[in-house]
Structure 1
Amino acid sequence: MAALAGKTGILLGGGGFVGGALLHFFKGFAEGSVNLFVPNSKKLSLAVADDIRRYFERVKPDFIINCAIAAIGSDPQLSCEINYLGAVSLARAALELGIPYIHVSSAAVMPSGTDLHEEDCRPLGAALPNYTKSKLLAELSLAQLAARGLDHTIIRLAIVYGTHDHKIQGFQRLLFAVVNRGMPLLFTNRRARHSYSNVRKLPLFVAHVLAHRAEFSGGIYNFVDPAPVPLGGLILTLRDSLGLRVPRTLYLPYALARLGMGFVARLVGLIARLGVEARLPAELMFLRNFYQSQTLSAAKLQGSSFVDSEPEATVFSELPYLLQYYVRRWEQLGLIKAGSREIDGPRWRAQQFVHDPTELLRQVQEESRQPFLQQCSLEGQEEPPP
């Protein structure tokens, strides 16, 4: 962080899941050495170019981090204004000021497949979903601006996991569906595997990228855990760690899943006509992705100067903390019944034994550094036999 000491930055999207993690890092762990401005949409709307100009004239930043997005299910205008045109406006400002621009993008711009590298992108076309199209357009325009001298780095995230997401979306929606017994069967197949991004590690990478511009300028990096995760195995691990009976270990074919979702969509439409607010989760537009693999290569990231301080941390090793955090939060919000989802320690250890023995070994090694006989009270216990 020494290279960033005294610098002033602007963070767009600081109220979201990813932006909140970056804000917490720079305000806390950076010990105030970085002066970070985090404007909300009332102070700086990415849809209004004059807002950007006035704010930048006042703040005079040394770098920009953009992780602001319009929601996945947003209409074409909002997706275009925030995800695309707003991102380009920020990049143009960075170009004119001669400062770095860090753009947080998404694996949505990449096709299905395995071991996908940074240059693997979907072809631009009108049929793409609004979210995908807008994020892809932003990346293409940044490449054009780079030819004119823009100092930028694109960080692509896959399925993001971590605590402190205040919305039920993405990976947290999967957690909620399992915890709330809303998934009777497995909406995937045995082959589908995906990459995951640890939100807790991202701020360290962003800080490193800002401090080493000569290496990272103009680059695109897949910021993902190296090992892909089978979706079915992850869901079953969640189920077993909570001691639930559902979802059953039955893989629902995609054709049936699509048929069922179509019926539900029509039902929701009828309910909405009655004046009752109802809508399907926006993530369902990516239902096909539940049945197709998309694994991103971390080779370029691992070959860089950035060193992962927690290489053993995976979505499986983080599940106990994620479940404890979100179950407690959803109980407090009244979304699930209090005390109805207890996390069983021995059962969880058994799941680690099956799916993540390396993490289990690390935890046992850490516990072994503590006194063993003093960890439990022996009062009231019978004397051991001679």
Structure 2
Amino acid sequence: GFHFGSPLTDPDNLAGITAATKAINDAGGINGRPLVIKTCSDNNDVNQATICARKAIDDSDVLSLIDVGSSYGDAYTPLLEKASLANLGDLPSGKADQNSTISFPLYGGTFTTIVSATAAIKHLDAKKIGVPYVGIPAGAQLPPFIKRIVEPMGGSVVGVQAIPITATDYSSFAAKEIADKPDVIVDGLTADMYTKFIRAVRQQGGTDIKFLASTGVFDVGQIAKLFPGDKNIYMVEQYDHTAPGYQHFLQDMDKYNKSYPNRNDGATSGWLGTYAFAQGIKALIDSGKTEPTRADFVQYLNKQTNFDVEGLTGGINFTKPNTSLGGGTPRVFNDRVWLSHVEGDKATPLNGGKPFSLFLED
């Protein structure tokens, strides 16, 4: 397998990949063969992302990409298509990730934030949704998508602003957001950026504004330490934290990567993508394909109607295209999110612990 991400998604994803790889190999690998995951970073640069893709393509040992966290899929996906190289568990942030037949995301990516806005309207009585976002192409997708979804529900999008990754002073961004009077602010920033943004809003008196924090970059322990006593922070979970797979993830992290401090869903994604790859390759070998090819793996994935790892995703049908948002994102197969309220160092599930989705269920 081959993983490449960016400074925005790693090292969390890599931490999960490391734990899962060690656990799988400790248990005998894949039918006795050791699992090897090679890595690369795009350094937030489209040219470097393409270099990473070419490294994977040129390495004959690589059967699939795993949990790619780059937002430059539009540049390198055509290369993957020519090589019949699957992109399993990728961040579906661009048109190529959301449309290519070699793209197999296991979570919603940008959709996680979009769906969280609808959850806020339904369960937090929100009308105005604040949308600050990272000033990169993937971030710019958020405001128009969220506007399209929340307006029919009686909501509106406010506080739309692109924040540069290099920003250090957040006071002006916070002032603009507060002036637009959002009821809820969605998480379209990195962990470090969102932390600075929340603190700046609170320091300027925006204490009643609710913040949705993505578990893709935060876990409940981090939030409790970063914002002690804050009663207006809610977690948006990418995976079902009540599933057996989540406990398995935590156990593997504690055993094989205990020193890594975070247990967020970025790390879960890396763990999940690794196990999903191993699960698929094992299924191919067990079916008689003792030396599976890249094309075999793509074909296998495209036939799966209930692909899951120990309940984490709720089951994904790779044969059923996403028809929400006008059908422009057919490869976003799983847009489920779970919402919970942070109280101290615990997260209390909302909606009876049931997921929210635009595509799969109401």
TM range (shorter): 0.3 to 0.5
Higher-Rg structure is 1
Structure with a larger share of its residues in helix: 1
Q: Structure 2 length normalisation: TM-score?
A: 0.32
Q: Which has the higher contact order (CA 8 A, sep 6+)?
A: 2
TM-score of the superposed pair, with normalisation by structure 1: 0.31
